[in-house]
Chain A
Amino acid sequence: MAYLSMGEAHRRITEYLNSFSESVFSQDAASLKLLLCFSSNSPSLLSVADSLNLFQDANRLIKQSDKYSQFGEIIVHLFRSLQNYRLGHSFDAYNAYEKAANAFIQEFRNWDSAWALEALYVVAYEIRILAERADRELASSGKPPEKLKGAGSFLMKVFGVLAGKGPKRVGALYVTCQLFKIYFKLGTVHLCRSVIRSIEAVRIFDFEEFPKRDKVTYMYYTGRLEVFNENFPAADHKLSYALTHCNPHSEANIRMILKYLIPVKLSLGILPQDWLLEKYNLVEYRNVVLALKSGDLRLLRAALDEHEDRFLRSGVYLVLEKLELQVYQRLLKKIYIIQKQKDPSKAHQIKLEVIIKALKWLEIDMDSDEVECIVVILIHKNLVKGYFAHKSKVVVLSKQDPFPKLNGKPVGS
């Protein structure tokens, strides 16, 4: 590299230009995307970048031929971006790349067929990756990181190009997923709504016709959104879809899906097998599951405490916290079973003080009003069938199915 001659640099640049224009003319998206994909760090691209840094007058080359100059808007910026990318100037690289991408979008708009979708995917991906790097650079120099936001609005533009009727719509979901990634990263999740609406409300395109890869990503993110909204059945549906359609070999992805799917399933009363947690390294859920099985409130609280940061960051803390009621239910059920073994005729009456005592064993100190309140809530949420007699402080359980199972329905439904 150090001995790159001027002639060699010239040759490489011309080669790049040639392959660019040729791939466009022959509508060869596969080779075009290689020319756009900086983050692949492919040796050929890197060598072109070195050549550009050596051979400063690439613009002249572009203008030399009509073949190149008609893509001048794209290539000029692309070259500048590539140069900066090679030099590690992420901010400048992003800015130039966005300009090139804008020009590319203009061209893309004019192409009737969707042949260049693959290349567009690369552009959308690159713009996000470059924006993230640029933001890192900005943040480290104390400036407000705003490039990812800019990438978001650029991708919205791309989405607008694709979202209409026609063959290009197939690509809309990919861009949507890139947008999701940006929005989730930025914490501006509410912006997802408009995109989702346009994907789901419009009946001009069957969702199933989108590429599987995009469908899985889409379902994963929308499922996470449903978790935020505490809409567990919907979250379950979407995340399950993602799980079943996910490539079984990409374990990282499966783990990501399970990270949300497990709490959702838990809150619907469905517990995972231990090997699953083991296999996908989700052991933080193990104690939670155990607590649910045993009615051990203390264990649940400890598990939540232990992984609080992680749960808070992933956003499932509140979901897991709500499992407390199910743990109480389990506890009551245990008491009921024990009473039944002792005296089946009086098993359906549980004295409040028994519950308090049980909680004391778990080293949870609650006064009778509080426990009464919990029981009342359990009855109210339909986790326990029966009623509470205030005067005698007794829970009177229904003789039939006193502890109904959730069976996939959320608590309180």
Chain B
Amino acid sequence: MAPAKKRNVSSKANAKKIKIDFEGIVERVLKSRKHANDVFDVLEFLQSEKEKDVICAVDACCKLFCTLLKRKDLFIGKLPGEDEAIKGEHSPDEKYKIFMRHRYNNCVEILLEHLHHETHEVKESALCCLMKFAAEQGLHPLEDLDWSEYFSFPRELIQAVVHNILSQSLDNSLLISRFQEFLEMDDIRYYVMSFIRDNVATVMNKSKGAVLPVYQSNVFTLMLNINMPSQETELTNFMVKQETKHEDWKAAKLHDHKRAFERMWLGFLKYKLPNSMYKKILVVLHDSILPHMSKPTLMIDFLTAAYDVGGAISLLALNGLFVLIHQHNLDYPDFYKKLYNLLEPSVFHVKYRARFFHLANLFLSSSHLPVYLVAAFAKRLARLALTAPPTALLIVLPFIYNLIRRHPSCRVLIHKPSSEDELLEDPYVMEEVDPALCHALESSLWEIKTLQKHYHPDVAKAAMLINTPMTEQEDDISEVLEITSYELMERDLKPTESKSFPLEFETAAHLLEGRGEVLGRHFCLA
């Protein structure tokens, strides 16, 4: 130990030498049991402050213990305490193995600690090392394989890794993405899923319902990185091959995978989530969670809860609900009423606008909907369009037109010839929550008439369409769903040959003075 300290002092000058030394130590330790105590040097460096040293030490440890594992130079079975072992009557060989096993355990502990290190490189090398150990341990189990039902798998090690990855204080998303490559292996995936569930249950129970954003986001990232196989035959990539009864191994069955997956998610979603997490989950729910569950309908509670939250979360819950309704025969009472009440000015401003309109388009595409409902939707959307930005208007207007096209009896909204030119107030009641009672059918879409005066030429043109009978062909709104303001601007910014630049004829003499000056009335040049 003394020389180690010496080296520690002089290590600044000769980092290279240290590395050579590491290799030398590893070789020495492996060569003869005499130098077994040199392991401490390596472990010393493993705890060093300097990242470079740590990484080198991790490499050395990895090499050392992997070789030892392969040689079966580590004690197998229930490990006696170190002191006991020295005192006890063990053969020197066994003593050595016990000693090495203890060093191995020390090393694993340190490496697990390193998973919380500040620098990513350290974390990453520690993780890789641990996973290598796990792989070796899988091949050369350290436990006794006495009982027959036992499937050899380094559970403790993996569990510890998962436990440490799911940090409550650090955002480990980078490490998790590194960990993802190990998740490709089916058995690891299976066990990790179950470990996650256990971990979530223990941690969340400890926090007693409070939200733990960092932890939950770590868990979520890890869970999101789990790529589920879609078919049984894809389950071929295993870290540990079971010689016997491989077929009976749960990790080799897709059904069990699905169960584990489902239980993991349900276990996670049981607890209260931060809003951003809610949105993230809902965004991916329909295509990366629901299909891999054995019983997707179990998600219904979560989705209904989310749907009732309101705002953007409700919008996002729609997608999952749609999958359930569409593919799993879910019956959802007052679905349309709720959908109707989701229509608020914010609908046009949220990020998930495109998704919402895509779904709303799907929900309202049924021709069996009652006319009053469709009219209510059209009218409400039109009213809301009065506050919408042009990008949203380019979606909403064709959307309304499509509604009217699908339900020709809604045409009275834009064309209701009457014998005399009666003037009437808008009978539509915006505040009414029930689409059946809002008198939308008795109203007209004056809002679209207003939008004919919209400043953007495309919107104004789109609004002009109600002046004439509409074509039968439905507009394809999928093109405009994702349009951004910049794209809209580019339409005018694109250089075309024939474009001319008309000029203001009124001579500009000053910044803030001129005909119809508004800015100058309230602001001054200062």
| Chains A and B come from one and the same complex | no
